[in-house]
Amino acid sequence: MLSFYVHIPYCVRRCGYCDFNTYTPAELQDGATLEIVSGGYIDAVLKELEAAPTDQVPTIFFGGGTPSLLPPKDLGRVIAAIKARNGLTENCEITLEANPDSVTSEKLAELINVGFNRISFGMQSANPDVLKVLDRTHNPENVRKAVDMARAAGFASVSVDLIYGAPGETLSDWAATVKEALSLDIDHISAYALIVEEGTKLAAQIKRGEYTMPDDDLMADMYLLVDQQCLQKGLKWYELSNWSKPGHECRHNIAYWKSQNWWGLGPGAHSHIDQKRFWNVKHPNAYKEKVFSGQSPIKDSELLNDEQKKSEYIMLAIRMPAGVRKAALSVAQYERTMEYIKSGHVIEREDSLALTATGRLIADRVTHEMLR
């Protein structure tokens, strides 16, 4: 089996916290429109596809950037090519990340027609002040409209992405956002703690003292709040930052967390095939240039040895409810986890170790202790 990630690197404007590999048309070419800079992009992706293995495909995920900016027929060309070349499993999950402002009923119907069955809207917050800090452009009222339109169009799974811990956000602000999200007709929520990355507009604003970040205790309360609220609405956590109704887990992301094989198409996209990891050149223009001149767009690669594979397994498995198999741990690693079992952060089962709700708050620390 081989999953595909398709990177669409375009955004109308860059959000202040974002350090993803995305570009506005003006950043790529002075005075250019989206149509100009994205011209030929799908052709380049289809050309790169020719180098990928031909195993059957259980999931395809279009991320970005803002994939919903491109016409559905163009995105559909990629789905059709993968289907013709590799074949899709009967229940292949095909996801589109979307900005709530960039969809219409007509566009959503077209997306269904070309093969999408799952959509993830970047909601981030229901609070206009928080959206302003994050530099998000969408109107919070459009999220409900977008979700309802997606359901009416026939999407089987609808998800929203949330971000907590923005400068100035209070626990009651966050509680209102979670309440609003859970009142929508959705079956999946991703909630990520805001990480301020060097080089972003938000990092510069914090450095200048315009904003201050919330403390760790508030971040912990925010996480526990979304966890409890989701559970009450029938959404269970299945990965540190993800909750879903039964059968609506994002199978594409699970493929990452289980270190299965996937191929990333597009600039900066990462791939993992057996024990080899590799990634493409980052800039869309360099990517197109390489692909169209018959060169591989791969910038670099690494072969994971057994020790690295084992460490990676522990780092990823601890993020999920099933936890880490005891058999994968050395005696020393197991013994270092004992203090967390005693403190109630880790639960010990017959053949595995898993995080409790409070353990999830210090997942990085537990992982570090296991691996050191």
- Same structural domain for residues 326 and 189? no
In a domain, 204, yes or no: yes
Q: Give the mean model confidence (pLDDT) for residues 61-70.
A: 89
In the predicted model, is pLDDT for residue 32 greater than 70?
no
- Same structural domain for residues 353 and 244? no
User: What's the pLDDT score for residue 230?
Assistant: 97
In a domain, 174, yes or no: yes
Q: Tell me the pLDDT band of 166, cut-offs 50, 70 and 90.
A: confident
300 or 26: which carries more pLDDT confidence?
Answer: 300
Domain end (from 223, 257, 291): 257
Domain end (from 217, 242, 257): 257
Minimum mean pLDDT range among 137-146, 147-156, 289-298: 137-146
In a domain, 271, yes or no: no
In a domain, 275, yes or no: no
What six digits make up the tokens of 5? 């990630």
- Same structural domain for residues 103 and 181? yes
In a domain, 283, yes or no: no
- Same structural domain for residues 72 and 158? yes
User: What's the pLDDT score for residue 215?
Assistant: 67
Three-state secondary structure of the chain: CCEEEEEECECCCCCCCCCCCCECHHHHCCCCCHHHHHCCHHHHHHHHHCCCCCCCEEEEEEEECCHHHCCHHHHHHHHHHHHHHCCEEEEEEEEEEECHHHCCHHHHHHHHHHCCCEEEEEEECCCHHHHHHHCCCCCCHHHHHHHHHHHHHCCCEEEEEEEECCCCCCHHHHHHHHHHHHCCCCCEEEEEECCCCCCCHHHHHHHCCCCCCCCHHHHHHHHHHHHHHHHHCCCEEEECCEEECCCCCCHHHHHHHCCCCEEEECCCCEEEECCEEEEECCCHHHHHHHHHCCCCCEEEEEECCHHHHHHHHHHHHCCCCCCEEHHHCCHHHHHHHHHHHHCCCEEECCCEEEECHHHHHCHHHHHHHHHC
Q: Tell me the pLDDT band of 24, cut-offs 50, 70 and 90.
A: low
In the predicted model, is pLDDT for residue 281 greater than 70?
yes
CATH number at residue 7: 3.20.20.70
Residue labelled with tokens 């994050």: 134
Whether the model clears a pTM of 0.85, i.e. scores above it, the answer is yes
- Same structural domain for residues 233 and 344? no
185 or 329: which carries more pLDDT confidence?
Answer: 185
In a domain, 264, yes or no: no
In the predicted model, is pLDDT for residue 14 greater than 80?
no
- Same structural domain for residues 236 and 150? yes
Spatial separation of the C-alpha atoms in residues 109 and 104, rounded to whole Å: 9
- Same structural domain for residues 210 and 348? no
Q: Give the mean model confidence (pLDDT) for residues 234-256.
A: 96
- Same structural domain for residues 224 and 152? yes
Minimum mean pLDDT range among 139-148, 207-216, 227-236, 253-262: 207-216
In the predicted model, is pLDDT for residue 154 greater than 70?
yes
* pLDDT tens digits, 319-369: 999 999 999 988 988 988 989 999 999 999 999 999 999 899 999 888 988
- Same structural domain for residues 234 and 316? no
User: What's the pLDDT score for residue 26?
Assistant: 60
- Same structural domain for residues 329 and 240? no
Q: Give the mean model confidence (pLDDT) for residues 153-181.
A: 93
CATH number at residue 313: 1.10.10
- Average pLDDT over all residues of the chain: 88
In the predicted model, is pLDDT for residue 209 greater than 80?
no
In a domain, 269, yes or no: no
Domain count, the chain: 2
Range of the domain at 196: 3-257
In a domain, 217, yes or no: yes
User: What's the pLDDT score for residue 293?
Assistant: 95
* pLDDT tens digits, 68-124: 888 999 999 999 999 999 999 999 999 999 989 889 999 999 999 999 999 999 998
Domain end (from 257, 286, 316): 257
- Same structural domain for residues 248 and 333? no
- Same structural domain for residues 104 and 11? yes
